[in-house]
Chains A and B, each alone.
Chain A
Amino acid sequence: MKPRPFDYVRPDSVDEAVAVLAEHGEEARVLAGGQSLVAMLNLRLADPAVLVDITRIAALDEIYDLGDRIEVGAAVTQNRLLAWPRLADKLPLLAAALPFVGHFQTRNKGTVCGSVAHADPSSEIALSLAVLAGEVVLRSQRGTRVLAAAAFQKDMLTTAREPDELITAVRFPVMSGRGVAFREVARRHGDFAIIAVAALVEDKAAVRLGVGGMSGRPVVRHIATADGSAARDTIDGMALELQGYEDLHASAAMRRDLLRRLGPVVIDEAIRCAA
């Protein structure tokens, strides 16, 4: 469990970081909190020639209130966002979801953007970003582009990031006062979710329901809530359409049943939270 040899670069600025990425492309990996990457290095599952450590770039270690959106820089840790005083007001869904991300110790190192970049299908942060219809900001020497969450995460551990691009921030739309709820099922607290379900109240008649862990990336649907049995039918339809997948901890059928059981509960919690 020792990594192969690699070069280590610790740029002081975003320009410097994207210059290294431009030079090395796919041979380079960005290191932020390292909570997934370092384990992969030690297992020799990741094999970069260059590690680009962005944690000392001061400009990336900021949370910006842009008015209608909150921008979280690429060096901001999960615990830092969780401790941000305006989180519960501006981003109540993240306030509910972040405590499920790993453990206190891993959240001290793990970053918000790193979790989005890793694109695990059951990631709580990627799911929240999808439900909130947030954005991912990508910088390269070619310029800056902003992708919608749905366009960014393509599949399991696969994103639209080009090898020369650095995720500099993610942006979460502000949802003050909106009813939200988040639940996940995991074998132990802090484990990757078997499935995660998030709900955001749109208006009196509809919620946005997001599901992680059923397919390669988070799935978001608008669900009419006026008729409870129709909502349950919609969720059942989602379960059958997404199918779910099989791993050591859950069969696809169990994932479908978990969604059927949790979906209505989470929607109900979000509506009660809004009331």
Chain B
Amino acid sequence: MPPLVGTSTLRKEDPALLSGQGRYADDLPTAAGTLHAHVIRSPHPHADIVRIDPAEALAKDGVWAVITGEDVRKISDPFLVALKTPVHQWSLAVGRVRYVGEPVALVVAENRYLAEDAGELVQIEYRPLDAVIDPQAACAASAPVLHPEAKTNEISVRKFSYGDTKSAFERADARVALSSSFPRLSFTPMECYVVVAQYNPAERGYDVLANFQGPFSTHPVMARALRVPGPKLRLRIPPDSGGSFGIKLSVFPYIVLTAIAARITGRPVKWVEDRVEHLCAASSGPNRITEIEAAVTRDGRILGLRLDQLEDYGAFLRAPMPGPLYRMHGAVTGAYDIANVDVINRVVLTNKMPASLIRGFGGPQLYMALERLVQRIAIELGLDPLDVIRRNLVPAHKMPYRAAAGSLYDSGDYPRAVATATGGGRLDDLKRRRDAARAAGRKYGIGFAAIVEPAMSNMGYLSTLLTADARDKAGPKNGAVSMVTVNIDPLGAVSVTADCTVQGQGHETVLAQIVADQLGLKPDDINVVLEMDTAKDQWSIAAGTYSCRFTPGTAVAAHIAAGRMADKLKEIGAKQLNVLPADVELAQGKIRSRSNPDNAAPFGRVAGTSHWSPVMLPEGMAPALSETALWMPPELEPPSSDDRINTSLTYGFVFDMCGIEIDPLTYQVRVDRYVSMHDAGRILNPMIADGQMRGAFAQGIAAALYEEFTYNDEGAFLTGTFADYLVPTVSEIPAVEMLHQETPSPLTPLGAKGLAEGNCMSVPVCIANAIADALGVKDVPVPASPRRIHALLEGGGG
């Protein structure tokens, strides 16, 4: 039987999802007497809370409580963050509001309508303060300070130096510098946040259902905030979640808030976030301003690199921030062989919603600077941008390659991938199209981007934020554990649980493929249960679905657990078939002798043996009822004393190439042709991989051309509905030609790497490079909206 892994096995999830049978958090039954919560939010970007008077609201029939920051401060603690700094965030504003949309009070009533009506009756008096929105302005000494105890808005500055950048710049033929800016955006899941919380006074514990995505490193953060040991915060995650893209980590402050409401009212409390709340306050990727400079030889070889990255996290830093600034840290030199690099990382707070996880997680920001710089090097030296890319790519013979800042690029052949993508007449076709358009007087440009896509984060990467001394004091942080359990029931039916959360990716299918291969079964024989219960399921702080950890992590644990189960069943089968274990195979639903396939027993009969007849098992064998594998790759070492860090386990490669044209009537950027080349190691399910990559591509287009959270200078939020925050629909997404090369990772038994974030990282800058080529400009504003293109083309206008 050929292996299922590597085939486009149909998704097990789809019949339910496509026929409206998904089980989402808001669909699940709630306990009798459940109350409903409504969050009152700040209309001000920055203000002191003078007074909150809930009397009128509390007098209304059906209203149970109005909870304020003072209540929350009494019975909970601020959320923990990696950076030790006096920036305290509770689940409601305490004393001061710092962004439009910040939760100020929670009304709990018998239904949501009543709660919202009562919310209008809560009298809140504010004393407005000056707000600061621009991250550079926020660093100025004269700027309003968001957290007076911190004394500054620029709460972290870390300088790193790898190699000898100073002498690289001294011996360079030229220096090329660029300033790049990456905007704020989110990838809005269709389903917003949902939390249902109960408090059990007898156990002094909380039982919460929420569509939380992980990482579970946030579980201790929530438990500590609620002042309970971890087991007293039982968190259940429903079987389905309507998209996440990183955003559903940030339900966690609301988990704590709803839990507090359940404790105060003594009733179960449910809160369902609506779209208006989601857009103004759920989560955002951080905006970043990067000053980047390269020391280059005359022919475009990059000898050294300097980056000064200023990242804006909004009003608070909350776990696991400032992740985006550090997740790419080991791979800050991207796909290039650059020995010398200096990095300054700055964290700044402004009066915007707090930033957090988002698909791409730091990659789009880094590559917007690095890949724009590579294009500028070509322009300023009079070279072909593709030649500059080729000249600097990590060569195949250097794999595995230790990047300057510590990442271990596990495998790949970047030059071959670039050759394949630009070959086959593709680049010639793009050039023909460009030349024809330009001959007709139209504005057409070609862009390239080469990026490295990390997967499965090292739990120690964030501690690079701390100095080596501070890290030593805080205790070691590194590695990342993945856990999967394979169970067998009395009739030999197989079920699987895992430490990932469902968001629609198709993990159920891929886990079934992996386990079925090991046990000689069909995917339909494998029952995969991915809803989570922290009180009963096995998990580590690395658990959850984020940073592409499924393929190099959870999938590998499944492979190991099922392999161990298979080995045990072969031993049991050997005894029953009266052959040697080496002669036993699991295939076609049978356990049989390799040399004499007629000597066989049905899989279920042998597999159930451990239930019915444990005494008769081979001597010394523990019953084969359940196998749990813990996968912890040793390459995820802690940061070294000189701050080198292997931030992730596997590193894929993406090379993009596109042609764009500026619509001569409408100033819109129209993508004419887009080619995207991927090397994600071994592909476990090509159909699912294709879906992942097309989704990332669409979100890359969104970041390049459409989506942006906008605040005015005074801090008002201008993109509060989908009429102003523009999510592109299928009509706006251009066609993309996906190409693949498979260079397996030597570091995992499956050889597979992550692939779901690469196009989020590559597409915005590839399009920006094409726009720069079309218009001959150095600064390309992103998203490149018609308004911005018009301003570039026409200046002030008549």
Instruction: Please give the residue numbers on chain A whose beta carbons come within 8 Å of chain B beta carbons, in ascending order.
Output: 1-5, 43-44, 185, 187-192, 194, 240, 248-254, 256-258, 261-262, 265
- Contact between chains at A185 and B786 (CB < 8 Å): yes
Choose among B117, B666, B732 the residue that contacts A185 (Cβ–Cβ < 8 A).
B666
Q: Considering the complex, give the chain B residue whose CB is closest to the CB of A262.
A: B665
**What 1/0 flags go to B662-675 for Cβ under 8 Å of A?**
00111110000000
* Contact of B728 (CB < 8 Å), options: A44, A188, A249: A188
Q: A145 vs B146: C-alpha distance in the bound complex, in angstroms?
A: 59
The smallest C-beta distance from A257 to any residue of chain B, in angstroms, reads 6
Residue of A nearest to B664 (CB): A261
Chain B interface (Cβ < 8 Å from any Cβ of A) = 112-113, 116-117, 120, 274-276, 664-668, 706, 710, 718-719, 723-724, 726, 728-729, 731-732, 785-787, 790-791, 794, 796-798
* Nearest CB of chain A from residue B624's CB, rounded to whole Å: 53
A251 touches B666 (CB 8 A): no
The verdict on A187 contacting B726 (CB below 8 Å), with A5-B117, A248-B719, A254-B787 known, is yes
A256 to B798, CA, bound (A): 8
- For A187, the chain B residues whose CB sits under 8 A away are 706, 726, 785-786
Please name the residue on chain A nearest to B731 by beta carbon.
A189
Check A251/B797 contact, CB under 8 A, given A2-B113, A185-B666, A257-B790. Answer: yes
Please name all residues of chain B whose beta carbon is closer than 8 Å to the beta carbon of A189 when the two chains form the complex: 729, 731-732
CB distance from B609 to the nearest CB of A (A): 56
**A232 vs chain B, min Cβ distance (A):** 13
Known: A2-B116, A43-B276, A251-B787. A188 touches B798 (CB 8 A): no
| Total inter-chain residue pairs, C-beta < 8 Å | 80
Across-interface contacts of B787 in A (CB, < 8 A): 249-251, 254
Q: Is the CB of B796 within 8 A of A253?
A: yes
Given A1-B276, A185-B786, A254-B787, answer yes or no on A191-B723 (Cβ-Cβ < 8 Å): yes
Interface residue from A1, A191, A257 paired with B797 (Cβ < 8 Å):
A257
Among B112, B728, B785, B794, the residue within 8 A (CB) of A2 is B112
Contact residues in A for B706 (Cβ distance below 8 Å):
187-188
Chain A residues closer than 8 Å to B275, beta-carbon distance: 1
Q: Which residues of B contact A43 (CB under 8 A)?
A: 276
B514 to chain A, nearest CB (A): 40
Q: Is B666 touching A258 in the complex (CB atoms < 8 A)?
A: yes
If the complex has contacts A191-B723, A249-B785, are A254 and B667 also in contact, measured as CB distance less than 8 A?
yes
Are the CB atoms of B786 and A250 closer together than 8 Å? yes
- Report how far A194 CA is from B790 CA in the complex, Å: 13
| CB–CB B797/A254 < 8 A | yes
How far apart are A193's CB and chain B's nearest CB, in angstroms? Answer: 11
Asked whether, in the complex, the Cβ of B732 is within 8 Å of the Cβ of A188, the reply is: yes
Residues of B within 8 A of A251 (CB): 787, 790-791, 797
Interface CB pairs A-B, < 8 A, 6 = A1-B274, A188-B706, A189-B732, A248-B724, A254-B787, A257-B798
B272 (CB) vs chain A CBs: closest residue:
A1
Shortest beta-carbon distance from B613 to chain A in Å: 59
Given contacts A2-B116, A43-B276, contact A254 B790 (CB under 8 A): yes
The CA of A185 and the CA of B664, in the complex, are separated in Å by: 12
Chain B residue at minimum C-beta to C-beta distance from A246: B787
Contacts of B724 in A (CB 8 A): 248-249
Tell me the smallest distance from the CB of B540 to a CB of chain A, in Å.
38
Alpha-carbon distance between A89 and B786 when the two chains are bound, in angstroms = 35
Q: Which residues of A contact B791 (CB under 8 A)?
A: 251, 254
CA distance A248 to B274 in the complex (A): 23
B732, closest chain A residue (CB):
A188
Distance in angstroms from A4 CB to nearest chain B CB is 6
Closest to A5 in B: B117
Q: Which residues of B contact A265 (CB under 8 A)?
A: 665
How long is the Cα–Cα vector from A13 to B716 in the complex, in angstroms? 45
Q: List the 4 closest A-B pairs by CB distance, nearest first.
A: A253-B797, A1-B274, A254-B790, A2-B113
* A40 → B minimal CB distance (Å): 11
Cβ-defined partner of A248 (8 Å) among B276, B718, B729: B718
